[in-house]
Chain A
């Protein structure tokens, strides 16, 4: 089972990394952004397995992005590994503060409270003129352990970096999903009371899932900030979080790769509808979203699962 997973991860890395050679600049940027956002969505999927959906994952996306930017601008740190680590750490701390609090909320209340937290951050950042207010801040291009590429090599390096993180995070999350804790999460989705009676702590599980989501959100935000070269409070706005939830629903909670496929699909649909229907791309996105909800209520991942079920 494990060897199969690592084989799959290696294959995924090889395929995705090959993109750095084949893809034109615009597509590589699009994929890097999609994969970075996919990391955030993977965190939501982790929570979705327990039956709750965070409508405020923009909170961590934004904290990650701002941590990286502020550290880079005030201390001159440009190493991408260090920036990612620091952002992840910041989100870990914030997640550990809010996680235990949120772990007793379910359904719409979990969604709304997480949304409120992200909007508190949005509101605060928009009014803080010291760090750019609604205009946000710029962040310089990252370096990789002392190597400072420019132009296409920079894009390629950033892309490979995202791919590596995605594959590592995806593999770790898969291992976590299949672990005892992960399976308890899944059981919680079916019947929370029964899980409690069997002696497991649902609150602890929910906290873990939330904290993992926070860290993934922070990493995603850091990479997005570095790829864009700019951060602003919109990172924490509710429509940003709404898109993450959309990707999570599109992917479903059954498969990890589906999350990143869904993220790329969303970016593609957005870019192309932006290109072909510049005035009605939201309309196209909305219709796409409705079609997905109607046709694939369990997400893209259910397609793979169904096929496996037939084969077995």
Chain B
């Protein structure tokens, strides 16, 4: 019983983190039709930016009000989105719209390689630690098990992010416009939609979510180079399982991957890396387009 509970809680924590990282990827794919490998770098940059900002916050006497460091975390993600979003979308990606999907994967792979080194140039190769936000929320006791409160804050953040994205897309005017652009960007343009702006907005939102994923993770780990390499490939698995461009799909994919990974960690540790891609391969074999994707019309 304890084992099942442990697996579920661990799985949920991992799934929450995965969802935040993956939903941006699926959003960008849904709107721009680009599978963004550089998403992993944006995640890593988010982690570095938040480590720096939180570090600066405490250096500037933030100890008086340590909860302000959470604002710093989110602010870091916003900053990354404001700087890198327009730079990458306007400066590069817009020249590749409508080109072959696989070629575009390679374009973002190039961006990924470039950003990996840019990060080393800016932040160096030594690890960054910002543990303060992680310990602030205390411990949570579930039966005989102890968890760090921050882990549950990540789950909460994932739920907020998921609801926000879903509500924006389905319940607001701008969301309807975005869905129209996804459905048929040319037709939307003739109807007077500023498609360029929607693309930019969607990419910035995706960048923000990637950076937010990194920013929220930074307190839990030591931020080192090469952070993005493994993240992107797991996020890929999640969005492919759920169906590219589907927000509910990303949620289900994250849960599926999160819980299977947790189960494997506790039951069969050797299979930890294996299991994620195994689940992805199985899902693709039976649902070639993923769980939630429709064959013709892409949906968010």
Contacts and interface: CB of A to CB of B under 8 A. Distances in A.
Interface of A: 53, 55, 101, 104-105, 107-109, 111-113, 115-117, 119-120, 122-124, 126-128, 238-239, 242, 245-246, 249, 279-283, 285-287, 289-290, 293-294, 297
Given A55-B105, A123-B274, A280-B121, A286 B112 contact: yes
Nearest to B99: A297
Interface string B265-300: 000011111111110110011001100000000000
The binding surface of chain B is classed by DSSP as: helix
The binding surface of chain A is classed by DSSP as: helix
Nearest to A246: B106
A107 B110 contact: no
Given A119-B277, A279-B121, A238 B233 contact: yes
Interface in B81-108: 92, 95, 101-103, 105-107
A293 B117 contact: no
B278 A285 contact: no
A112 B240 contact: yes
7 contacts: A108-B102, A119-B233, A126-B273, A242-B109, A280-B117, A282-B113, A289-B110
Contact of A123 (B101, B118, B120, B273): B273
Nearest to B279: A116
A102 to B, nearest CB: 10
Given A112-B280, A124-B273, A286-B114, 9 more contacts: A112-B236, A113-B284, A116-B237, A116-B281, A123-B273, A123-B274, A238-B233, A290-B110, A293-B110
B45 interface: no
A116 B117 contact: no
A285 to B, nearest CB: 5
Contact of A127 (B112, B237, B240, B273): B273
B161 interface: no
Contacts, number: 115
A112 B240 CA distance: 8
B193 interface: no
B200 interface: no
Contacts of A120: 274, 277-278, 281
A122 B103 CA distance: 24
Nearest to B114: A286
A128 B111 CA distance: 33
B177 interface: no
A293 B236 contact: no
B15 interface: no
